[in-house]
Amino acid sequence: MEKRRIGSSPLESSLLGLGCMSLGTEYNEAEKIIKTAYENGINYFDTADLYDYGTNEEIVGRALKPFRSEVLIATKVGNRAKDDKSGWYWDASKFYIKEQVKNSLKRLQTDYIDLYQLHGGTLDDPIDETIEAFDELKQEGLIRAYGFSSIRPNVIREYAPRSSASSNMMQYSLLDRRPEEQAFPVLKENNVSVITRGPLAKGLLSPKSNKKLSGPGENGYVHYSHQELKEVLSKIAGRFHNRSLTELALLFNASNPEVSSIIAGASSPEQVKENIHAINQKPLSREEIEMLKSLTNNKGYTEHR
């Protein structure tokens, strides 16, 4: 599988990464998915301290331990769990970040994290202090690189130029092209790679598309109404007879040079293999890319603090 460098860091990620959030808490089943990903060319595994209140990190660390040096583990910090685990609240303080990394390292059974990410971000953060925490962790050798995970253009405009972050993780797909105009330019200018999540748009760009559209209720997606979704997906299917929706979705993300890795979750080893098969197909031609862009739109974000 193709590999791409993450920003100016030494990290080289497989073009497709495994999103581990939805693995569940049953270790044996989760391990099968993780090992299938590894054995078929994926070296990037995405988790977070918040997922199942730390259990997800424990599963990922345990499953990857036999080949730890061959993979990249990316985790996140900032969503601070309440003591009774009834919820969480935002904490981007230097103290919390530097304390929480120790817990993540223990759960992951490793002495370093490849990519440590701020799991969000607001304009009310103590931004310089937050950045200082990550820089110090990097100097201390506890993390190899750091990034942030935000869809908010105003937050990205603050963090990207003021830090030495290597990446920003954000939602991006054929059905959510908002980052192209409002985030990608500033990230490119600051040599911050994009790690995309949600490339299959909650299954709308997968073999489950018809089932999703015919399910109960008539929910839309981002700025598309339910009816608009049906129309745009029908048009895409009508123009591309020799490519699956999954193939188009993943290869569209891959066609953007700012993207270093595309994170997709999986509920079974078979789904992992399907996604890997799709990303390994012939890259989209310029004509195919322009056709897909003409069939979709990229309405902008609403700014939030």
How many Cβ atoms sit within 10 Å of the Cβ of residue 175? 26
Q: How is residue 202 written in tokens?
A: 């909650």
235-244: pLDDT as tens digits = 999 999 899 9
Catalytic residue among 38, 44, 51, 159: 51
Per-position b or e across 276-298, b if 16+ CB within 10 A of its CB: bebbbbeebeeebeebbeebbee
If you search the block for the tokens 């890795």, which residue do you land on?
Answer: 261
What pLDDT digit, counting tens, does each position of 28-75 carry?
999 999 999 999 999 999 999 987 888 999 999 999 999 999 999 999
Residue 51 annotated in active site = yes
Encoded tokens for 60: 């990922």
pTM reported for the whole predicted model: 0.92
- Strands in 133-216 per DSSP E: 143-149, 167-171, 193-197
Confidence of residue 182 (pLDDT cuts 50, 70, 90): confident
